């Protein structure tokens, strides 16, 4: 099986534009997470899905950020009216509900640059 994949790998946009970042988790993983990693920092939690529902969205910085996972597999992180401060690497991770539930498997990330 393939690992977690994220598209695009890089995204350059202009301030004020709308962007969508996609995450394809490991097949069968019911839990999916989004993190944001700013330059020189560790990843920061954004949102966690269990199945189709957002079980914890406490890390979303404001209402410009929204994420969906309509069929319990692929997830899309949506950012409206982008700002230069949104520039970061956006990481997606997934985990199973089996014996190895504590291990989150990370994708390569999407590097977002807002000009």
In angstroms, the CA 84 to CA 87 distance is: 6
Residue 36 or 82 with smaller CB distance to another protein: 36
Q: At 53, give phi and psi (nearest 5°).
A: -100, 145
Residue 14 or 40 with smaller CB distance to another protein: 40
Q: Could you say whether residue 72 binds another protein (CB under 8 A)?
A: no
The 3-state DSSP class for residue 115 equals coil
Q: What is the DSSP string of 85-100?
A: GG-EEEEEEEE-SSTT
Residue 17 or 45 with smaller CB distance to another protein: 45
**Rg, the chain, Cα only:** 13
Total residues binding another protein (CB under 8 A): 27
Choose which of 14, 41, 98, 99 interacts with another protein (CB under 8 A).
41
Q: Could you say whether residue 90 binds another protein (CB under 8 A)?
A: no
Q: Could you say whether residue 73 binds another protein (CB under 8 A)?
A: no
């Amino acid at each position: 099986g393939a690992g977690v994949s994220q598209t695009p790998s890089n995204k350059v946009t202009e301030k004020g534009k709308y962007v969508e970042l996609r995450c394809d988790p490991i097949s069968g993983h019911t839990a999916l997470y989004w993190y944001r990693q700013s330059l020189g920092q560790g990843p920061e939690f954004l949102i966690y899905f269990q199945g189709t529902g957002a079980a914890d969205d406490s890390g979303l910085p404001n209402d410009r950020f929204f994420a969906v996972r309509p069929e319990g597999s692929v997830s899309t992180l949506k950012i409206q009216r982008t700002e230069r401060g949104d520039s970061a690497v956006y990481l997606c991770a997934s985990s199973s509900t089996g014996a190895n539930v504590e291990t989150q498997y990370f994708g390569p990330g999407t590097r977002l640059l807002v000009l």
